[in-house]
């Protein structure tokens, strides 16, 4: 299907450029009484076709068509083909050479860009795998150690100690589940096999669901809400957008040291809903900020066997989901302290409350 569209696009582009060239040549000949630049018009057309289409075929075909058009319609004697005239032969050779050279150059450039893009994907996969390997190892080791402790010392451990160990296993298991959810989301969308299915969702219902999920995980943290008074309807995959908001809120709790306030604000600007999540914590380091959504950031000062850390996989998931919805996402530090994460989604018409 994609190849068929590519063929059709190339054919239409070739036909369109040749048609425009023919019309321009007619104007030059009959309106402006200029004959000497008509060949140059078709040579330029062949160059454009070779540059904008894929492969060699369209440029070479355009060269032959242009050669015949110049010979038949714009070279005396008109309406007859005669390649024995030196000027016609030279024009034909020039057009074919330009088509071949330009097609070769553009093909090499496109191949180089494809290889570069594939290399970048491989680098990101390697970074993601390295980050995931590090992050999964710590909770798995903790779970294994805690379970072994319970099995080996069940009779000697007090009930309070057992409860504390079980609580740790539960928290690490929940963290692993969220990590797996994030990985499944990003690979599902990046594969291109699954399209985002948007359904109209009322903003207030979305936020209510987010708050319920968030409070189950972090009952001791309060979120200040700032939402529009009017009913706002946003086409989205609600589960994925909930995941985005929860990931950003969780990122603030894990990394915004000194945070005393966490604000979730949503407002409508034109045909877009803008989501802002602000905190008054320590902000994002200048070194980390450019890579915040890349999926991996290596901090050499962190111990390799440290506590669970957010490598940015959750934020990488956020970027993937928002881009799949046609929106934008960004992060920046606030002058007074703290950071703000911002993403946009297209809205439907507002309904007055």
- Name the CA radius of gyration of the chain, rounded: 31
pLDDT at 123 over 50: yes
Residue 68: closest CA among 80, 56, 50: 80
Query: Do residues 204 and 73 share a domain?
Result: no
Residue 170 lies in a domain: no
Q: How sure is the predictor about 182, in pLDDT bands with cuts at 50, 70 and 90?
A: low
pLDDT at residue 316, as a whole number: 80
Query: Do residues 211 and 85 share a domain?
Result: no
Contact 234/349 with Cβ under 8 angstroms?
Answer: no
Query: Do residues 103 and 222 share a domain?
Result: no
Query: Do residues 221 and 311 share a domain?
Result: yes
Residue 343: closest CA among 237, 239, 281, 265: 265
Residue 242 lies in a domain: yes
Query: Domain end: 116, 144, 176, which one?
Result: 116
Lowest mean pLDDT among 42-46, 48-52, 305-309: 305-309
Q: For residues 277 and 279, what is the distance between their CA atoms, to the nearest angstrom?
A: 7
Query: Domain end: 116, 146, 171, which one?
Result: 116
Contact 321/189 with Cβ under 8 angstroms?
Answer: yes
Q: Is the dihedral of CA 204, 209, 210, 212 positive or negative?
A: positive
Most confident of 34-48, 164-178, 179-193, 231-245: 231-245
pLDDT at residue 5, as a whole number: 75
Contact 72/121 with Cβ under 8 angstroms?
Answer: no
pLDDT at residue 186, as a whole number: 65
Query: Do residues 101 and 201 share a domain?
Result: no
Q: Where are the alpha helices (DSSP H) in 31-85?
A: 38-52, 57-73
Residue 186 lies in a domain: no
Residue 130 lies in a domain: no
Average pLDDT over every residue of 271-291: 92
Q: How many domains does the chain have?
A: 2
Mean pLDDT of the chain: 82
Residue 46 lies in a domain: yes
Give residue 341's domain range.
196-346
Question: Percent of the chain, pLDDT > 70?
Answer: 83
Contact 150/103 with Cβ under 8 angstroms?
Answer: no
Query: Do residues 229 and 331 share a domain?
Result: yes
Spatial strand order of the sheet with 262-269 comes to 224-226, 262-269, 272-279, 339-346, 329-333
Residue 245 lies in a domain: yes
- Long-range Cβ pairs for the range 109-112 (8 Å, 24+): 110/54
Contact 98/47 with Cβ under 8 angstroms?
Answer: yes
Residue 333 lies in a domain: yes
What residues are paired with 344 via a beta bridge?
A: 274
Query: Do residues 110 and 215 share a domain?
Result: no
DSSP state of 131: H
Query: Domain end: 60, 85, 116, which one?
Result: 116
Lowest mean pLDDT among 2-11, 297-306, 343-352: 297-306
Q: For residues 328 and 321, what is the distance between their CA atoms, to the nearest angstrom?
A: 10
Global pTM exceeds 0.75: no
pLDDT at residue 180, as a whole number: 77
Contact 174/244 with Cβ under 8 angstroms?
Answer: no
Query: Which letter, b or e, does each residue of 89-101 get, where b requires 16 or more Cβ atoms within 10 Å of its Cβ?
Result: eebbebbbebbee
Contact 178/313 with Cβ under 8 angstroms?
Answer: no
Residue 296 lies in a domain: yes
Phi-psi region for residue 270, left (φ > 0), alpha (ψ -120 to 50) or beta? left
- Write the CATH number for 252: 3.30.565.10
pLDDT tens for 295-322 read 555 444 444 444 444 445 778 888 888 9
Query: Do residues 240 and 339 share a domain?
Result: yes
């Amino acid at each position: 299907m994609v190849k068929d569209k590519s063929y059709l696009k190339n054919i239409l582009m070739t036909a369109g450029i040749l048609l425009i060239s023919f019309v321009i040549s007619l104007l030059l000949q009959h309106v402006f009484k200029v004959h000497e630049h008509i060949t140059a018009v078709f040579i330029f057309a062949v160059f454009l076709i070779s540059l904008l289409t894929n492969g060699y075929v369209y440029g070479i075909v355009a060269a032959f068509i242009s050669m015949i058009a110049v010979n038949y319609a714009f070279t005396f004697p008109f309406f007859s083909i005669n390649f024995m005239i030196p000027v016609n032969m030279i024009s034909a050779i020039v057009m074919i050479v330009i088509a071949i050279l330009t097609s070769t150059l553009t093909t090499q450039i496109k191949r180089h860009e494809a290889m570069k893009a594939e290399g970048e994907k491989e680098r990101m996969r390697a970074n993601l795998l390295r980050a995931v390997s590090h992050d999964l190892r710590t909770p798995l080791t903790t779970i294994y150690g805690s379970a072994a402790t319970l099995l080996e010392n069940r009779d000697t451990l007090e009930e309070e100690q057992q409860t504390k160990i079980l609580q740790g296993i539960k928290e690490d298991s929940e963290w692993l589940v969220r990590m797996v959810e994030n990985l499944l989301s990003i690979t599902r969308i990046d594969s291109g096999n699954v399209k985002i299915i948007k359904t109209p969702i009322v903003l207030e219902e979305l936020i209510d669901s987010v708050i319920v999920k968030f409070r189950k995980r972090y009952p001791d943290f309060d979120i200040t809400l700032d939402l529009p008074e009017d009913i706002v309807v946003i086409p989205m995959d609600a589960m994925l957008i909930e995941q985005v908001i929860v990931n950003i809120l969780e990122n603030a709790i894990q990394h915004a040291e000194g945070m005393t306030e966490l604000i979730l604000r949503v407002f409508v600007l034109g045909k877009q809903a803008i989501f802002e999540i602000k905190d008054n914590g320590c902000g994002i380091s200048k070194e980390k900020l450019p890579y915040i959504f890349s999926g991996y950031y290596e901090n050499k000062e962190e111990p390799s066997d440290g506590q669970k850390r957010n490598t940015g996989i959750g934020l990488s998931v956020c970027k993937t989901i928002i881009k799949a919805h046609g929106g934008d996402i960004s992060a920046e530090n606030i002058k007074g302290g703290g950071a703000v994460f911002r993403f946009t989604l297209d809205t439907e018409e507002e309904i007055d409350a």
